[in-house]
Amino acid sequence: MKTSQQISTNRIVYALAWVLLLWACNSDEQHYTTDAPEPLPVKSDLSRFDNGERVMMQAFYWDVEPRFEWWTTLTGKIEDWAASGIDRIWLPVATKGQSGEYSMGYDPSDYFDFGEFDQHGTVPTRFGTRAQLETLIREAHQNGLEVIADIVLNHNSGGGEEFNPYRNKNTYTHFDTTHGNASGKFDRSYKDFHPNSLHDHDEEALFFEEQDLCHHQPRVQEWLWKGENSIAHYYKDHMKFDGWRFDYVKGFGPWVVKAWNDEVGGFSVGEYWDGNAPDLAQWVEDSGSRAFDFACFYKLDEALDRQKDLRVLSGDMLRKIYPDKAVTFVSNHDTEKDENPENNISVTNKMLAYAYILTHDGYPTIFYSDFENTNYRTGLRALIRIHNSIASGDIEILYQGEKEYIMKRHGSEDNPGLILYMNIGTSNRQHTVSSNWKNTKLVDYAGRTNAWLITDDQGQVTIEAPAHNFAVWSVSEE
């Protein structure tokens, strides 16, 4: 328990720090004289505390522009991203879709046309040519980044019309070299879609009723992952992709993802769009794959936007159940274009949400449009450095109220850890907490405040966070 004398001493030291800071800012020479009572503490080089953790970049947004140049645009950013602490880039669906030059790839037609066949009105995909994609992948690998392919296994588009006896009508389920499959690989007919001779639908919900792939058909399995020339093997062995982001995994059984990963391995994350953490955990258990933590996303949206109550963050999240399987995020290509405010986090609260995911456990994803936004870039770079260094050790919630959330990462013998202070109130706030550091100067590594603090001989300290903002406190340079 902190004594009144200790609290008073702490406040005096804190006040002195602010006086010194203001004096320095108003000084013509902007530095302290040698006889200053206390030199201002400086931040440590966080590379000293490299914890081995990194961050994934979602390297696209919906309807990227300019068309045909996206692979080249990304190639020019790889070196900077690698230096910023990114270790994987998640690319959009890289093959030809029914919408041709306007397709974002989620209407897949030819799984093997990476921008080299003239079909659907174009040779290149919206993103460019196969040669440009291969250049991007090589550049990423040379800079130590893995490349994640977006895989759509639930539905197909862009086939030719044929009579479908299982529906007693014509359906667009005829895929061959002249009907949406110019590569000549994985030709398909109505027999490969639902309903068929095996069953009417997969274990899970349907998406496109007429072109919903049947994953139980042996030849479909052979072309998707089992065969030497399957999509899985071709993408890994020929295109050199390192892992997979599986689209709309509610559209088929989790055994499909498990079978794919058992066959070719690599990083894997599924889009199981559900805010219920136990459901996400069940899918993770059944598939063996990571999953995007929609439960965390919706709790952040609720806490910051809808309820404006940080106590909501005590709710269930995948990262609290399986931290090593949770891929956390603040925004993506779908949420950013969703007009429902409950499906996206507001611009004013994005950095608070990023502060949360980049200091807690789970594997964070940064959205391209956020990182390339000059309003966020500096702050995101700082948070990524924090994540890759001092966001380490067990998590302890020190305080959680309507407007304040304070969390401690305990670090380790060689890593100091951190204290995150989120404040969604309309004024600066302070709170006295117990740290792991005794008689130590603290600074905010997130760069949201220039204040500095000193812990007492019991490790207690009165930390602060600016109004509607956050701070990430840790030890200063010795």
Task: Output the pLDDT for position 63.
Answer: 97
Q: 268 and 201 in one domain?
A: yes
The residue among 387, 416, 450 that closes a domain is 387
Compute how many other C-beta atoms are within 10 angstroms of the C-beta atom of residue 324: 10
Task: Output the pLDDT for position 387.
Answer: 98
Side-chain half-sphere CA neighbours of 399 within 13 A: 21
Task: Output the pLDDT for position 38.
Answer: 64
Task: Output the pLDDT for position 470.
Answer: 98
DSSP 8-state secondary structure symbol assigned to residue 120: T
Task: Output the pLDDT for position 21.
Answer: 42
Determine, yes or no, domain membership for 45. Answer: no
Domain that holds residue 468: 4-40+395-475
What is d(CA 231, CA 256) in angstroms, rounded to the nearest whole number? 13
Number of domains in the chain: 2
367: β partners: 58
Q: 420 and 302 in one domain?
A: no
Q: 381 and 362 in one domain?
A: yes
Residue 349 annotated as binding? no
The residue among 352, 367, 387 that closes a domain is 387
Task: Output the pLDDT for position 7.
Answer: 40
Q: 69 and 33 in one domain?
A: no
Q: 72 and 218 in one domain?
A: yes
pLDDT beneath 50, residues of the chain: 1-37
What is d(CA 68, CA 191) in angstroms, rounded to the nearest whole number? 34
DSSP 8-state secondary structure symbol assigned to residue 92: P
Determine, yes or no, domain membership for 157. Answer: yes
Task: Tell me if the bond preceding 416 is cis, omega within 30° of 0.
Answer: no
What is d(CA 388, CA 28) in angstroms, rounded to the nearest whole number? 37
The residue among 334, 366, 387 that closes a domain is 387
Residue 212 annotated as binding? yes
Active site residues: 247, 271
Determine, yes or no, domain membership for 347. Answer: yes
* One-letter identity of residue 444: D
CA angle 294, 298, 300 (to 5 degrees): 115
**CATH classification at residue 168:** 3.20.20.80
